[in-house]
Chains A and B, each alone.
Chain A
Amino acid sequence: MFKILQKTIRTGIVTTGYPKRRAHNSDHFRGRPSFDFEKWQDARPAADECPTGAISCRDTDDSRKVTVDYGLCVFCGLCAEASPKAVNITKEFELATADRGSLVFTADYVLNPDGTHRSLSAVANGRTNADADVESVGAKAREKIQKLLGRSLSIREVDAGSCNGCELEIVALNNPIYDIERFGIHFVASPRHADMLLVTGPVTRNMELALLKTYRAMPEPKLVVAVGACGISGGIFGENYASLGGVDQVVPVDVYIPGCPPRPQALLQGILLAVGRLREKRYDEHPRR
């Protein structure tokens, strides 16, 4: 007993200050790839390398539509290796959003005869039109939860078919470093006790029913958060005979947390965003025309 106390005292407090203080990521951490659509002379090499199809090209005669979907991105950094001038790997990880569309960027290019880009004609973000819309997604549930629970929250986690990578990071939220309990948030054993379903994917055919039953077993109001590339879109597994793809194929999703897997701070940001305790971070360097 004395030894245990001694060790505890010697160790001191190890809990991170995030989100009040900025997260310390290592120099080599690969976060959101940022695209300079103006400078991008050819999207094909990056699209060829991208393992999940997060970057894709659709060519018609003399124009090309390039789609970048952070909901599919596994943050491998291959696009930056393929197009070093146009793609830059940043350390940004707070990508959680209530709007699936806001993770998708499209750029239209006029092409040269050899298939490279001649000029950029338009960049668009798939964000649902008005900001008010974004806010209203899950807003009612959020309001109710705040009113009822004083912003405390119970989460039920469901692995609907993941590789276990996301679970490792979700478990880390309970460790003394991230200590999610300091926000009054805890993981519960039963959906009957839960306000939020934290779901990892892809949703497999074999887990579809279990996910639905878990969702239905939750009392109203309920929130659903989809975790990781696979939870958002099916990720590298996509849709096939055994995989249905993203969580929103089966249950309505309030917040999406990109990552492969999302680091614990990213999970925290997403969860706090879902209950209205943080605002969405927006990376608006992309010119909106």
Chain B
Amino acid sequence: MNLATLFQTIQTKFGKQVESMHAEHRDEAYILLSDPNIRPITEYLRGELQARLVSVFAEDRRSEEGVFFNYYVFEQKGDAGYLIVKAPVPAADPRFPSLSAVLPAVNWQEREIQDWFGLTAVGHPNPRRVALHDNWPNVHPLRKDFPLDTVLPPFEGERHIYRPALGEGVLQVPVGPVHAGIIEPGHFSFAVAGEPILYLQLRMFYTHKGTEKLFEKLPIHKAVFLAESISGDSSFSHGTAFCQAIERVAEIQVPLDALVMRTVLLELERICNHVADIGAIATDVGFVVANAHASRLKEMLLTANEQLAGNRLLRGMVCIGGVRRAWNAWQVETLRYTIETFVREFQDLIALIHSSESTRDRLEHTGILKPGIARDLGIVGVAGRASGIDLDVRRDHPYAAYSGFAFKVPLYQAGDVWHRLLVRVDEVQESISMIRNAANHSLNGEFRVPVPPIPANRCALSAVEGWRGEIIHWIRTGSNNHLERCKIKDPSLNNWPALVEAVQGNIIADFPVINKSFNLSYSGTDR
């Protein structure tokens, strides 16, 4: 269905409720409702149009328009692309109907709106705090009348009341926020009956550092660096997503060479993280030799990263209007050489893993995420593709130079740790062939265009397939090179609840490997 027909159908069906509809950019259309009642149109879009609800977030527009707005981002593989339904929530009666009971995927996101903005999700099955811990005072940090530098009283009282685990032989095992390994902080509360896990309760947002609020204070060109610090292992993806959003607003045409360079760096980031994860999964079942090789390969790529971008995590490379530096012939040669060496070594690594029956035995049928549950929870990225969710922003809504490359998107139905590993292996192979192709492209043309003044009060959505999955940035620009709002959605936010499902019934000793097979970002979730 093309966009005009879609608009027409919606006009006929929901005419009374629809205020206006327009296409803002390519792949990005807005439908403005007259009231907060989102349920009927959601049912239609998800049912007949097979659209997926990607993200739900709010914005405080009280001083400009007298209301809050809730945004419901739907994604459709056809012409509509990203369809954003915008529903006003009156400031005097700040309540909106919850979708979580039918759509578990938005459970946390609706609760975030409650915490950040003080709007009530009516009918939410579990309306407790999620983003602000229970010990926070009654504040709503993303409201415009809450200053960024507010000093809150120190920690007091209970963070969160967990559901108790009762019964003979049933134990509750608390883990975190400071973990045994070198990982990010979060709290896991396991209820176990002997070895098997009955259920897992998660407490995240330990690393919440006011990122979305901070975006509203930084000048746009500096905010690129904040975007790079949303999630360390996805620095380049988040940086690119942010720059793309600004480029859409300011209608900047990024030169082709810059787009190809971005594609190369996005794929390098993907390979780096995938190979590290493959090693880490092997470690968690005791196959440390594989990890020694994997971390050696990762190091090889990080060295190439440094040669190409000046920083091992590819920071300080992407900029609004292209990339910050051009590559000379030697740098491109380094890229080629690294990739060719990597290919050989990677094949050896995969052969090692395949030759180890005990590794495969531990990984198969471990931590199964069934496709039906994955669909309900809105799982994206690697975890989704291992559980039959056929999504990939690179293919569905191409950005950077992806429309110029041929690549396969791996898809499996089994949803266990082994298949999440296989998705990574397949993706590394595809990325390698893309980088090989790109390295043959002559990369010595224009790499950056000047940035015009950024127009005020414009919105744009940008999507990037980070190595974990779909990254969404949505912005509204303000005056004087500042943003009014920047919404960040890291794929981890969707995927954490999948971990809860995947561990059930597994033995607690397998939790680390199941967790690693998702390898979700805490900082990206907590922001």
Residues of chain A at the chain B interface (Cβ within 8 Å): 3-4, 7-8, 11, 14, 25-30, 49, 51-52, 74-78, 157-172, 174-177, 187, 189-191, 202, 204-210, 214, 230, 235-243, 260-261, 263
Residues of chain B at the chain A interface (Cβ within 8 Å): 133, 139, 141, 146-152, 154-155, 177-178, 180-185, 205-211, 213-214, 218, 221-222, 224-226, 229-233, 235, 289, 292-293, 295-296, 298-299, 302-303, 306-313, 315-316, 325, 330-331, 334, 348, 351-352, 355, 521-523
Contacts of A26 in B (CB 8 A): 303, 306-307, 334
Distance, CA A176 to CA B294, complexed state (A):
10
Given contact pairs A14-B296, A76-B225, A241-B150, A163 touches B232 in the complex (Cβ within 8 A): yes
* Closest B residue, CB atoms, query A201: B209
Query: A75-B311, A160-B185, A175-B292 given. 16 additional CB < 8 A pairs?
Result: A7-B352, A11-B296, A29-B306, A30-B310, A49-B221, A77-B316, A159-B185, A164-B231, A165-B233, A165-B235, A167-B183, A174-B182, A236-B229, A241-B148, A241-B152, A242-B209
A236/B226 in contact, CB under 8 A:
yes
Specify which of B133, B210, B231 lies most central, judged by the most chain A CB atoms within 10 Å of its CB: B210
Quick one: which of A4, A164, A205, A242 contacts B523, CB cutoff 8 A? A164
B306/A76 in contact, CB under 8 A:
no
Quick one: which of A167, A176, A236 contacts B295, CB cutoff 8 A? A176
Contacts of B302 in A (CB 8 A): 172
Distance, CA A217 to CA B182, complexed state (A):
18
Distance, CA A74 to CA B311, complexed state (A):
10
Quick one: which of B155, B296, B303 contacts A176, CB cutoff 8 A? B296
* Closest A residue, CB atoms, query B319: A78
B441 CB to closest chain A CB (Å) equals: 20
B210/A237 in contact, CB under 8 A:
yes
Contacts of B205 in A (CB 8 A): 206
* Closest A residue, CB atoms, query B313: A165
What total of A-B pairs shows CB separation below 8 Å?
192
Specify which of A158, A165, A209, A260 lies most central, judged by the most chain B CB atoms within 10 Å of its CB: A165
* Closest B residue, CB atoms, query A202: B209
A28/B307 in contact, CB under 8 A:
yes
Given contact pairs A159-B185, A236-B226, A209 touches B155 in the complex (Cβ within 8 A): yes
Specify which of B141, B146, B302, B325 lies most central, judged by the most chain A CB atoms within 10 Å of its CB: B302
A25/B299 in contact, CB under 8 A:
no
Given contact pairs A159-B185, A163-B523, A241-B148, A30 touches B206 in the complex (Cβ within 8 A): no
Contacts of B331 in A (CB 8 A): 28
Residue pairs across A and B with Cβ atoms less than 8 A apart, 5 shown, are A51-B218, A159-B184, A161-B209, A206-B206, A241-B213
Contacts of A241 in B (CB 8 A): 139, 141, 146-152, 210, 213
* Closest B residue, CB atoms, query A229: B229
A62 CB to closest chain B CB (Å) equals: 28
